[in-house]
Amino acid sequence: MSTATAPSAHASGASDARIPLRGHLRHTGALVRRNLLWIRQDPESMFDALLMPVVFTLLFVYVFGGSIGQALGGGQGQYVQYVIPGMVAMMSMTLSQGVGTGFSQDFNSGVMDRFRSLPIGRGSVLFAKITVELVRMLFATAVLMVVATLVGFHIDNWPGLFATVGLSALFASSIMWVFLTLGVVLKNAQSVQAMGFLVLFPLQFGSSIFAPTDSMPGWLQAFTDYNPLSTLADSARGLMTGGPVAHDLWVTVAWSVGITAVMAPVAIHKFRTKS
């Protein structure tokens, strides 16, 4: 089987550069449809996007809302206004991990061997994965906003909400290239998940998502100042509830463009050359 697929995969890789943009778009669309149909047949794959916003919102609002809200100069209601924009940022990071684990599972199940033997653009497979994960992220964000409204969150700027979702999608797509690379390089989905946890945990809790950074030690504040999740969360607060936006927004965009510029070629190269 390996001797049969290797020449085909090599031929596919050789012809990849000759596939026109319209062909890449058609291939990507077909693969997106395939992945969406798979979700339709396996709705349990959406449980994390459905339950994670609910669990995290209720946990942080009702467990930490009172004490952190007082530190913010208010109460639980004040904390709701603070934490919900940060959780929009968190969703973009947390759900991005799924693209790597799913990619690894497709390799181990032989699906990717089939894709790589077909005369389709290699990048189309990766772009389709990212597109479907962004759809899942948008679904999770919609669930989050419904739950947020029920616990008392007030949106002061509706255009700002849509700008926040767009900014979060931009950042999420950049992080997905990192997890796609891990999905190709690491041997199984468990390894991708473990590595993702090591990356996500310090970035999420060493940021301004859940609590202000003023009371953190100086060395940790220095880390949060350069943490893209902090700038994304602060941008979301400014856009949704009012406040300074420009600096954090442009820093987040710069992080997103930089990560994509570095990791997208790496992910595509690793996918093309994986044996």
The whole-number pLDDT of residue 16 equals 56
pLDDT interval class at 7 (50, 70, 90): very low
pTM score of the predicted model = 0.86
Average of per-residue pLDDT across 131-136: 90
* Per-residue pLDDT tens digits for 106-133: 777 777 777 767 767 777 888 888 999 9
What 3 state SS string does the chain have? CHHHHHHHHHHHHHHHCCCCHHHHHHHHHHHHHHHHHHHHHCHHHHHHHHHHHHHHHHHHHHHHHHHHHHHCCCCHHHHHHHHHHHHHHHHHHHCCHHHHHHHHHHHHHCHHHHHHCCCCCHHHHHHHHHHHHHHHHHHHHHHHHHHHHHCCCCCCCHHHHHHHHHHHHHHHHHHHHHHHHHHHHCCCHHHHHHHHHHHHHHHHHCCCCCCCCCCCCHHHHHHHHHCHHHHHHHHHHHHHHCCCCHHHHHHHHHHHHHHHHHHHHHHHHHHHHCC
Domains of the chain, by residue range, sit at 2-273
